[in-house]
Amino acid sequence: MKLFSCLLLTLISIEISAITPQPRFGGDSTLLKRRLYYYGGGIDEIGNMNTSTSQELIYLDIEKSFEIKSGLSAWQKVNVTGDLQPEANYLYAMAVLPRSNSIAIYGGAGSNNGQLLQNTAVLYNETTGSWQTIDDPQSNLKQVYLASFQRGKGSIGYLFGGRSYAGDVYPPFAKEMQIFDPFTYSWTTGAAVPDEYGVRFRTPSALYHNDIYYIGGMSANYTNTQITHDNTMVPMSDILIYHIDENTWEKKTATGDVPAPRIMHTVTSKPNTNSIMVFGGKYNGMHFLNQPTKSVAAYPFLVSDKFMVFINIIATSQHYYSNEWWRRRLRIKHRLNGMGKKESYRCRSRTIIWTFSCFCRL
């Protein structure tokens, strides 16, 4: 009986605190201690230029295996302590810094109303359940959005790319690697991306060994006085690499079944493999301007300097999957359909090749 009421209480409290979040996009999620955290996001119809944005911090506990369907209604809203509540935001850059038990959020398009954010960089400390502000290392750009914030080894954060959200900054692009140490709250500036590689925005990244890979997204060409080409889609074959140990940049060219160019996709290293997975995204952000759109393959690609795998999944949406979300689904799928057929290919080790294998449902 005691056990029963205990169970009942647990069930009741789960029911009370769990929420089904509204659909949202343009936010980001990250995994910290088996909790998948998601901040803010645009909450209107996908692609609405005038979307309103959220300031909700929610998480999904992925400690145990779950059905994707029931997972949708099992999110928890974080009860933030302290005085600071970050502003509504989307199109920001987010990095998990696990050793300091924190999540950093940088820049973004805020409330999407042309107003600049009060705090351009904030950090959520999971230990205290509170937010604090951190310095903006490139405050001259006024507010950078569409950047990428990636954790490196030792929970150091690597911030790169993006562009100014303010209309009066020229040139608006962020070219330097900015390196954040969460133990001292200090930033150092790393190497700028070489001009011949071009700037990047809307480009996600993955930590692969001790390098950061930037795949896809957009670039621009500009002179001292004007932007000559803007929002150009970066070919997925152009893999931009930042070597953390050497503080140097390199560009490699991928071959094989190169996916169509895309933005708003996710890339992540597949643990214990030599592969980076690329998933989802869309062709461009301009369809509200009546420009032609192309759909992109919703299945993931793996890029690797050794083995390549293509996994065909049944995707419910092609947008905005989190790295960790995907990684978890992959793990679940593997467990559920362990008999999935996989093919892997070998190739020259110095070149990156795109190829695939089919992960078939039986």
Ligand X SMILES: *[C@@H]1O[C@H](CO)[C@@H](O)[C@H](O)[C@H]1NC(C)=O
- Residues at the interface with ligand X (CB under 6 A): 16-17, 49-50, 76, 78-79, 100, 102, 125, 127-128, 182, 195-196, 198, 221, 229, 288
Q: 3-class SS at 200? A: coil
> 76 or 231: whose CB is closer to ligand X?
76
Cα angle 203, 201, 151; round to 5: 55
Classify residue 166 as exposed, middle or buried by CB count within 10 Å of its CB (0-12, 13-18, 19+): middle
CA distance 172 to 164: 5
Give the phi and the psi of residue 200 in degrees, each rounded to 5.
-135, 140
Closest contact distance (angstroms) between CB of 111 and ligand X is: 13
> 152 or 300: whose CB is closer to ligand X?
152
Closest contact distance (angstroms) between CB of 211 and ligand X is: 21
Closest contact distance (angstroms) between CB of 338 and ligand X is: 34
> 219 or 318: whose CB is closer to ligand X?
219
Q: 3-class SS at 5? A: helix
Closest contact distance (angstroms) between CB of 128 and ligand X is: 5
CA distance 135 to 120: 8
> 87 or 230: whose CB is closer to ligand X?
230
Closest contact distance (angstroms) between CB of 176 and ligand X is: 16
Closest contact distance (angstroms) between CB of 49 and ligand X is: 5
CB atoms within 10 A of CB 182: 23
> 286 or 358: whose CB is closer to ligand X?
286
Q: Six-digit token pair at 52?
A: 């309103």
- Answer yes or no: are the C-beta atoms of 259 and 301 closer than 8 Å: yes
Residue nearest to ligand X (CB): 17
- Answer yes or no: are the C-beta atoms of 152 and 244 closer than 8 Å: yes
> 38 or 359: whose CB is closer to ligand X?
38
Closest contact distance (angstroms) between CB of 173 and ligand X is: 12
> 124 or 325: whose CB is closer to ligand X?
124
- In this structure, the strands spanning 121-125 and 102-106 are antiparallel
CA distance 176 to 156: 16
CA distance 128 to 103: 12
3-state helix, strand, coil in the chain (%, to 5): 15, 35, 50
